[in-house]
């Protein structure tokens, strides 16, 4: 069946290692996709409002933010699923047993970190989120939380996911973003869920979709669509779970694959 929607992860997938992309090449590809009636969707752990700002030249583009908790189009506005205050409090209580974790609470616009957090962690968060606020107590944050962004020792990532999964069952799901990082997302709210919601709105079926990703937090999205394309820079075990493998993000693999297999 003809592809009507292409979704792509950002970091390590659509973006190069400097956090940018070939803008002139993409502009031509995007124009061709538009002419063929193919939607281009960004699906990321970034906030949807930040994604919309980053791609302000393409206001009709749909954004999936917060690893699936947010869905946004400049014309349609933002819809967001957030943790209840009770769930947020319970999660923070559970995480308090792991002092080695560096935690950011992500709202739809503002991200909150502890004012005494490691400076390198704060710097990394400032690079990733454009509206960062330092607070004296994370438990006092009253903003609605979309997800938890957590940095941890790389060699502990898998074990932490293993331990936190049963401890947070029914409240939050640990999703590894690679060794040294993970998100806590709401049960059932992932990139695949968001694509299903968007497809329902646009009248596009899963077998009319293609998606690109490089991490385990992309798996639900890659499995949901007709063609799940894993990047050449992704781990070998993840590549084995995709329908196809694209060149690396540094080699502009998403753009090359679209040119060769869609346009």
CB atoms within 10 A of CB 169: 10
> Which residue, among 239, 245, 250, 189, has the nearest Cα to 216 in the 3D structure?
239
Judge whether 228 and 211 are in contact, CB under 8 Å. yes
SS3 state of residue 186: coil
The residue from 9, 149, 183, 214 that is catalytic is 9
> What is the rounded distance in angstroms from the CA atom of residue 238 to the CA atom of residue 241?
5
Judge whether 243 counts as a catalytic residue: no
| Distances, alpha carbon 216 to alpha carbons 1, 100, 181, in Å | 27, 22, 11
| Torsion, CA 147, CA 48, CA 36, CA 19, rounded to 10 | -90
| Torsion, CA 163, CA 164, CA 166, CA 170, rounded to 10 | -170
> Which residue, among 208, 182, 233, 246, has the nearest Cα to 3 in the 3D structure?
208
Token pair 């020792």 is found at 153
DSSP letters, 137-168, are -GGG--SPBSEEEEE--GGGHHHHHHHHHHHT
Catalytic residues: 9
């Amino acid at each position: 069946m003809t592809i009507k929607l292409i979704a792509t992860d950002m970091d390590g997938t659509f973006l190069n290692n400097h956090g940018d992309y070939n803008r002139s090449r993409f502009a031509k590809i995007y124009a061709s996709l538009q002419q063929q009636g193919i939607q281009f969707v960004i699906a990321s752990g970034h906030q949807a409002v930040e994604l919309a700002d980053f791609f302000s030249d393409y206001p009709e583009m749909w954004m999936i933010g917060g690893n699936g908790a947010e869905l946004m189009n400049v014309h349609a506005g933002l819809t967001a699923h957030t943790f209840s205050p009770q769930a947020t409090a319970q999660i923070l209580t559970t995480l308090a047993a792991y002092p080695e974790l560096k935690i950011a609470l992500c709202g739809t616009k503002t991200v909150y970190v502890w004012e005494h957090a490691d400076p390198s962690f704060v710097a990394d968060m400032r690079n990733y989120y454009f509206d960062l606020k330092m607070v004296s107590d994370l438990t006092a944050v009253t903003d609605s939380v979309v997800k938890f962004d957590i940095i941890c020792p790389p060699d502990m990532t898998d074990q932490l996911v293993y331990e936190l999964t049963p401890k947070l069952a029914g409240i939050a799901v640990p999703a590894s973003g690679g060794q040294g990082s993970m998100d806590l997302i709401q049960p059932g709210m992932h990139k695949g869920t968001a694509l299903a919601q968007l497809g329902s709105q646009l009248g596009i079926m899963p077998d009319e979709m293609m998606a690109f990703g490089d991490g385990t937090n992309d798996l639900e999205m890659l499995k949901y669509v007709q063609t799940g394309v894993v990047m050449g820079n992704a781990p070998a075990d993840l590549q084995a779970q995709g329908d196809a493998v694209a060149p690396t993000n540094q080699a502009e693999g998403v753009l090359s694959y679209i040119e060769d297999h869609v346009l």
